[in-house]
Amino acid sequence: MPAQPQYYADYLALGNILQAQHPVSYQPGNDPAHDEMLFIIIHQAYELWFKQILHEVESVAGILEQPAINDNSPELQTIVHRLQRVNTIMKVLVQQMDIMETMTPMDFLDFRDLLRPASGFQSWQFKVLEARLGLPFEQRHGQHYYTSALRPEYVAMVKDAEGKPTLLQLLNNWLERIPFFEQDSLWQDMPAPTDAVAAPAGKFWEAYRQLLVQSLSEAEQGNLQVFDNVMGFDSSLSLNRLLSPKASRAALFIMLYRGYPLLQLPFQVMNAVLELDEQLSTWRYRHMNMVHRMIGSRIGTGGSTGKDYLKGAADKHYIFKDFAQLTSFLIERRKLPQLPAAVEQRIGFVHG
């Protein structure tokens, strides 16, 4: 059968999309508020972008869920590409606030009371996104009411997302599989440090720990105990991290030696999720400031505490903070331990 011709309006379902704006203020008995159309369209655009972001995140999760990933394959490049696309979309979401802020507080008051109890707080897609990325319920701000205003079917979607392996968990599992330190033969030629404090993970971390001690100022010496805990050398601290010691060691090693070809894509993966956290934080703070500008300290239409809730979420909802903490343990590139030839060959270009 020949393919049926596609027409622009039909393919995009413009008949449905362009008829999906129904300003409440234009209903009989109300005074029409011009800016309500803008308010609806902006929020619809947000939800469409949330849908696209979820589409990208689910595809990345699908790749990472595989039993094994070839770190020198197109799969890792696909992960990087799609995470970078998510970050570009997030930049658009932040910039979209500029359009929203062409509406003044008085313009918003023309129709605000007609919206109750509808609120952006009821965006189940955004709550699903946070859950799929790796925000655990225990770290949520406002746990007691974050799903209270949702319909039962949307609560079920959020809970279902919370029950799946998150992007953070999948990245943790992927990093744990990176086989740098379990193969003793790769490290046998590495010279032992002159004044090492024993580190259970082998020669490299003994040498690195010694160099880190030398690089820390007197005021930073507390970082050493944190380093030992994060790397799994000392469990006396309780840091409530979601990234395991084994994954943390792999991640820090990748940050340190990202110049080697095999580590470039893994570094870009980690850099992309750190940027995603930054973009989400920027969006939350921009949203908070916009709400403060519009309604001051008043309660949100959905019953939340408005600006105060948004500030609490912005301060608490950092998903990939365990990656960010690793930068506390970096030392200058020129002081890095010289890697054994076997390791350099493993992570460098192979010449035939």
Ramachandran region, residue 29 (left: φ > 0; alpha: ψ -120 to 50; beta: rest):
left
pLDDT on residue 140: 78
pLDDT confidence tier of residue 102, bands split at 50, 70 and 90: very high
User: Could you tell me if residue 211 is inside a domain?
Assistant: yes
pLDDT confidence tier of residue 186, bands split at 50, 70 and 90: confident
Does the annotation flag 43 for ligand binding? yes
Residues in the chain: 352
- Rounded CA gap, 17 and 1, in Å? 30
3-state DSSP call for residue 155?
helix
Does the annotation flag 42 for ligand binding? yes
Residue 108 · residue 39 · CB < 8 Å:
yes
Average pLDDT over residues 174-202: 71
Does the annotation flag 319 for ligand binding? no
- Rounded CA gap, 198 and 200, in Å? 6
Residue 69 · residue 178 · CB < 8 Å:
no
Alpha helices, H only, 105-220? 105-109, 124-133, 152-162, 167-176, 184-187, 203-215
The end-to-end CA distance of the chain, in Å, is: 51
User: Could you tell me if residue 2 is inside a domain?
Assistant: no
Is this model's pTM higher than 0.85 or not?
Answer: yes
Does the annotation flag 351 for ligand binding? no
pLDDT on residue 47: 96
User: Could you tell me if residue 25 is inside a domain?
Assistant: no
Does the annotation flag 137 for ligand binding? no
CATH code of 169's domain: 1.20.58.480
Residue 151 · residue 127 · CB < 8 Å:
no
Does the annotation flag 301 for ligand binding? yes
Query: How many CA atoms within 13 Å lie on the side-chain side of 2?
Result: 3
pLDDT on residue 300: 54
**Identity of residue 52:** Q
User: Could you tell me if residue 221 is inside a domain?
Assistant: yes
Q: Is the pLDDT of residue 352 over 70?
A: no
Residue 322, judged by CB atoms within 10 A of its CB (0-12, 13-18, 19+), counts as buried
- DSSP string computed for 267-306: HHHHHHHHHHHHHHHHHHHHHHHHHHHHHTTPPPTTSS-T
Does the annotation flag 178 for ligand binding? no
Average pLDDT over residues 161-165: 94
Does the annotation flag 41 for ligand binding? yes
User: Could you tell me if residue 13 is inside a domain?
Assistant: no
- Rounded CA gap, 280 and 272, in Å? 12
3-state DSSP call for residue 140?
coil
Q: Is the pLDDT of residue 303 over 60?
A: no
pLDDT on residue 119: 78
User: Could you tell me if residue 232 is inside a domain?
Assistant: yes
Ramachandran region, residue 47 (left: φ > 0; alpha: ψ -120 to 50; beta: rest):
alpha
User: Could you tell me if residue 62 is inside a domain?
Assistant: yes
Domains in the chain, number? 1
User: Could you tell me if residue 12 is inside a domain?
Assistant: no
- Rounded CA gap, 121 and 131, in Å? 15
Across the chain, what does the average pLDDT equal?
87
Its domain, for residue 339, covers 37-347
| % pLDDT > 90, the chain | 57
The angle subtended at Cα 116 by Cα 143 and Cα 121, nearest 5°, is: 30
| % pLDDT > 70, the chain | 91
